Amino acid sequence: RLRGDGGGAARELLFQASVPPLGFSTFTVSRLSRGDPRVHPARTPLGAREGDEWGQGRCSTRRCLAPQHVRVLFDPLTGHLKEIQNLDKSISLPVFQSFYWYNASVGNDESPQASGAYIFRPNSSEPVPVSSSKRVSTHLVKNALVQEVHQNFSSWCSQVVRLRAGQPYVELEWTVGPIPVADGWGKEIISRFETTLQTNARFYTDSNGRQILERRSGPARALAVTPPETPVPLAITGLCLVPRRDYRPTWNLSQTEPVAGNYYPVNSRIFIKDKKFQLTVLTDRSQGGSSVFDGSLELMVHRRLLYDDSRGVGEPLVELGADKQGLVVRGRHLVLLDTVESAADRHRLLAQELFMAPYAVLAPGGGPSYRHGQPSLRQFSALRQELPPNVHLLTLTPWDAGTLLLRLEHQFERGESANGSQPVTVDLLNLFSAFTITSVREMSLGADLPLDAISRLVWTPATGPARPRPVPKLDPSRVTLQPMEIRTFLATVQYKVPGAGPGGP
């Protein structure tokens, strides 16, 4: 259903691949005849139906996935995610995850504003579970590279909970759509995580994928009592989630939208934490997110609305897609459980891996050689040595003939990591293998002016006249980056292979 008429493949080819930094690797896949001595019998993935016990040993009575660094437990009665354990740190956290939908507002006596392309306005603060049953159907798949639990919440909402060998995170690959609207209700679908963390009405989102901002809606508390009957199933037994009061740091807010008014843009990550543990969810695209209840997280994954919000589009958000049935969306959330002290070391690097994932390019046959007249190159890296973990090569692009635009960023904030938040020094002259840097000039962030030619307005703060910071002399063999700093350079280069630069063969 996701592909529509784009194909009907029933299987996936999975193998572990290694790609060098700023480079590529080439792999060849070929079909072998049955008589070929290299053919091995197919290994059928281990499957389990509902009611079957999963796994072996300690997992057999609790249903779990546990390849190496992370263990995930599922409720044997409902099939829902129940607990996440970080095996490296010997920590665990009850985590319930499921899908819900907010009933989109069509306007009411208080306001005619409908939920639409630009406006999120549910008509209730309590979402409806996607699954009409407390139990979701599940299926287990295990092999040497991945362990997966396939969950079906409804005919139009499913999810694969996946653990990859050697990786410290839980991957949730969700598929949602076409959203049914025959009942006349527009729906806005969320994935919600409920935990026992005492978060004190605070949660955290990124700002444009970099700086982390604290979001706070006001005092909140968690009551250790039996939850009352409510349309929203609270999965953590004995914990009643109390809605937050609305809050803004610089004025008293009179909030009329208790859910939408607490939603924020999530470009790369959202997390909650207490004094010890932190639960981080990384997104593969920009989404709206919130923590409407203390100890919870939610992300909006899909929407289908029946009324225009009168904000300029002139039509409801009800795209039908190629098959005229409605759009099907697939995406991924990566979930990390760690200590507060170590969480940034994980989520900073993993967010870059998710956002800057290598491109998979397919071509028939053996393909042409990398350079004319030479054998095919199976692997290549333009770096002579890897960058430090807290440094990211943000830009490397041709500028003029023999000149490249180069940006480096320090991807940690000050104070969030004992190691990652330290200043770091990079040697530009010995960094690249594909070319030699002959000269470097530091530029403004936008690369429109040399840094030493910028004349900034000097403010006079309340503490007295500010001292302008002098531009230090640039030593390209020792470029130091402070936390969250981005530095921009124009580098004159000489390519190692004649004609191999931009525009060459």
Taking only the tens place, the pLDDT of each residue in 96-128 is 999 999 999 988 777 889 999 999 999 988 999
CA distance to 136, 216, 217, 254, 299, per residue, from 124 (Å): 25, 21, 18, 18, 17
pLDDT, one tens digit per residue, over 23-32 is 999 888 888 8
Instruction: Write the Ramachandran bin of 154: left for phi over 0, alpha for psi from -120 to 50, otherwise beta.
Output: beta
| DSSP assigned state of 132 | S
Cβ-contact 226, 241 below 8 angstroms:
no
Q: Which helix (DSSP H) or strand (DSSP E) does residue 349 occupy?
A: helix 343-355
* Percentage of residues in the chain having pLDDT higher than 90: 55
Residue boundaries of the structural domains of the chain: 43-355, 383-495
CA distance 82 to 207: 30
Q: Please state the rounded mean pLDDT for residues 269-274.
A: 96
Lowest mean pLDDT among 232-241, 276-285, 356-365: 232-241
pLDDT, one tens digit per residue, over 141-177 is 888 889 999 999 999 999 999 999 889 999 999 999 8
Sign of CA dihedral 110, 115, 119, 121: positive
CA distance 45 to 316: 44
Q: What is the CATH architecture assignment of 383-495?
A: Sandwich (2.60)
CATH superfamily membership of 43-355: Golgi alpha-mannosidase II; domain 4 (2.70.98.30)
pLDDT, one tens digit per residue, over 33-76 is 877 777 666 554 444 444 444 443 345 445 677 668 999 999 98
SS (H, E, C) 247-264: CCCCCCCCCCCCCHHHCE
Please say if the pLDDT value at position 18 is more than 60: yes
